[in-house]
Chains A and B, each alone.
Chain A
Amino acid sequence: MRRFLRTALLLPFLALAFPVEAQVPFGQASGVKEGLEIGTSTSEIAIASDFRGADLTIFGALTNADELFLAIGQYDVVVTLEGPKDYATVRKKERVFGIWMNTEGLTFEQVPESYSLASTRMIDSIDEAPSLNNIGVGIDHLALNPVGYIPDSGMIGEFRDAYRRLKLSNGLYQRDTSGVRFVSSSLFRASLKLPANIPDGMHMVRAYLFKSGQLINQREMPLRVVKTGIEQAITDAAHDRPLAYGFLCVLIAIITGWGASIVFRKD
């Protein structure tokens, strides 16, 4: 009820913001389920080593949208880019005998290494927290499940907050609450920020369509992030052929040391 009242109050302003093309009687076309389509120009992003961050634009369209609901801004779109998932360990330092050392740690299972979100407005004003938690949309609503035995369950919240804060501060987690804009009544454009330190691997673009605060449709699309250049070739070699890589390091050392003793020989 409160939600309806708020909408009713906002109605005159929204009507100004979104020019209505045709006045459609209430309830028409509401029997048909709204569809959602998204697309990017590429399914693979190549990032060079001098990459300093960029925007990824994703286009999408609503189909069978109710003109009236569209006009009064009852449709909300959230687009996310989730990085590859891995365990993440948060550690807390405390002073022990005058020295700062890690004393407590908590590992969360399978959280995305990077997470970028764009939405039509603040996601907490789109839907209520419990249902966002349920679908795991939004930095504050991502599932952060601790692994193993936790002696003090009170510390979980504190570690979750620290995790989100650290990820936001190093840019791996980003949000732009005005990143999704409707370019026409049913076409939207989402700008997702790719951080400079974006991990490579399989990312997932997810788009969620909300109608009056209810998730009614979602789409997902894989996006491969590939790092290119000599630096990435080195990283790959270090991980894929570690013995050969180590041998090469030693070989360079031998050549450098030996070479210097030949070049600088005093005869």
Chain B
Amino acid sequence: MTVYLPIAELSVNIFIILGMGAAVGFLSGMFGVGGGFLITPLLIFYNIPPVVAVATGANQVVASSISGAITHFRRGTLDMKLGSVLLIGGLAGATAGVWVFSWLRRIGQLDLFISLLYVVLLSSIGALMLQESVRAMRRAKNNNPLPIKRPGQHNWVHRLPLKMRFKKSKIYLSAIPVVGLGFGIGVLTSIMGVGGGFIMVPAMIYLLRIPTSVVVGTSLFQIIFVTAYTTMVQAATNYSVDIVLATILMVAGVIGAQYGVRVGQKLRGEQLRALLALLVLAVGIRLAIGLIVTPNDVYSVAVGGMSY
């Protein structure tokens, strides 16, 4: 059964889109990630224009992050104040990102830039995850307990001015790195269509030394607002959010995520993480091949717009 995507301007098989949404939803539930960094490249492989894939990916992340954020809000593992400071940076970053996005589109380098960013991000994240999970598997094999990390109490981040007290997180921290982190993630959200949790969570834990208990909830809080904002801005400036595509992906995604969560609780973490790492690496490599292989036609034509 085919369905016509009005913004992407092509007909697709609805079951492939449903399958994609469910599979990514399943993985996102299993690993607790937003899934934007998988859905956007998958859509690009399925010939959805990257402009549409990115904007629609951001929209999809809103749905996949919201139920998690609600859970954390109920449990009280969400630092509103920290989230709001992150959000200030995030909104500014998303605005800047959409501006860069439109500019790249105008000069005809958007598709290349999105692919390049994904190749760099997916291959580095995939490699790090693989390395970490292999190490964990070896450790489990040798029956060595996890070494207890005692991170240094202070690093350069804690010497910055403009300090604020975040009661819920029980930390006293400069607002500069928080806003800066939010800004960087906001830029990635609008250019890549990702929530950015897979970068934000480690950065909050290792760089800002924020207690792990509030990190996930707080990052989800900021992701929801930044991705919702990005969806609005993309819709208003590039007209590139495909509501039909987004709805199919979201419905399949949230259902898939529920099963993913259940499976994820039962299975061993290290093997799963290694599998996810391999998947992420494969997607990155596939995108890299697309950049290197000689295209069928070196010319392309775009309607409207002025270049150079």
Q: Could you list which residues of chain A lie within 8 angstroms of chain B, going by C-beta atoms?
A: 49-50, 86-95, 98-102, 105-107, 113, 147-148, 159, 162-163, 165-167, 197, 231-232, 234-235, 238-239, 242-243, 245-250, 252-254, 256-261, 264
Contact pick for A234, options B231, B234, B243, CB 8 Å: B243
Q: Verify A162–B292 contact, CB threshold 8 A.
A: no
Interface residues as binary, B1-33 with A (CB distance below 8 Å gives 1, 0 otherwise): 000101101000000000000000000000000
Contacts of B112 in A (CB 8 A): 99, 101-102
User: Which of B35-43, B61-69, B142-150, B270-278 lies at the interface?
Assistant: B61-69
Contacts of A256 in B (CB 8 A): 63, 247, 250-251, 254
Distance of B223 from chain A, by nearest CB (Å)? 12
Q: Verify A231–B4 contact, CB threshold 8 A.
A: yes
Q: Smallest CB-CB separation from A245: which chain B residue?
A: B235
How far apart sit A28 and B298, CA to CA, in the bound complex (Å)? 57
How far apart sit A242 and B299, CA to CA, in the bound complex (Å)? 31
Q: Verify A243–B235 contact, CB threshold 8 A.
A: yes
Interface residues as binary, B285-308 with A (CB distance below 8 Å gives 1, 0 otherwise): 000000111110111111111111
How far apart sit A253 and B231, CA to CA, in the bound complex (Å)? 10
Q: Verify A253–B6 contact, CB threshold 8 A.
A: no
Q: Verify B231–A91 contact, CB threshold 8 A.
A: no
How far apart sit A260 and B237, CA to CA, in the bound complex (Å)? 30
Contacts of A113 in B (CB 8 A): 303
Contact pick for A102, options B6, B109, B228, CB 8 Å: B109
Contacts of B9 in A (CB 8 A): 197
Q: Verify A253–B292 contact, CB threshold 8 A.
A: no
The verdict on B244 contacting chain A, using a C-beta distance below 8 Å, is yes
User: How many residues of B are in contact with the other chain, CB < 8 A?
Assistant: 56
Contacts of B185 in A (CB 8 A): none
Q: Verify A249–B243 contact, CB threshold 8 A.
A: yes
Contacts of B297 in A (CB 8 A): 166
How far apart sit A147 and B304, CA to CA, in the bound complex (Å)? 12
How far apart sit A102 and B247, CA to CA, in the bound complex (Å)? 33
Q: Verify B231–A257 contact, CB threshold 8 A.
A: no
Q: Smallest CB-CB separation from B299: which chain A residue?
A: A162
Q: Smallest CB-CB separation from A98: which chain B residue?
A: B292
Distance of B109 from chain A, by nearest CB (Å)? 6
Contacts of B228 in A (CB 8 A): 250, 253-254
Contacts of A163 in B (CB 8 A): 299, 301
The verdict on B86 contacting chain A, using a C-beta distance below 8 Å, is no
Q: Verify B250–A252 contact, CB threshold 8 A.
A: yes
Q: Verify A257–B250 contact, CB threshold 8 A.
A: yes
Contacts of B304 in A (CB 8 A): 86-89
Q: Verify A253–B236 contact, CB threshold 8 A.
A: no
Distance of A28 from chain B, by nearest CB (Å)? 51
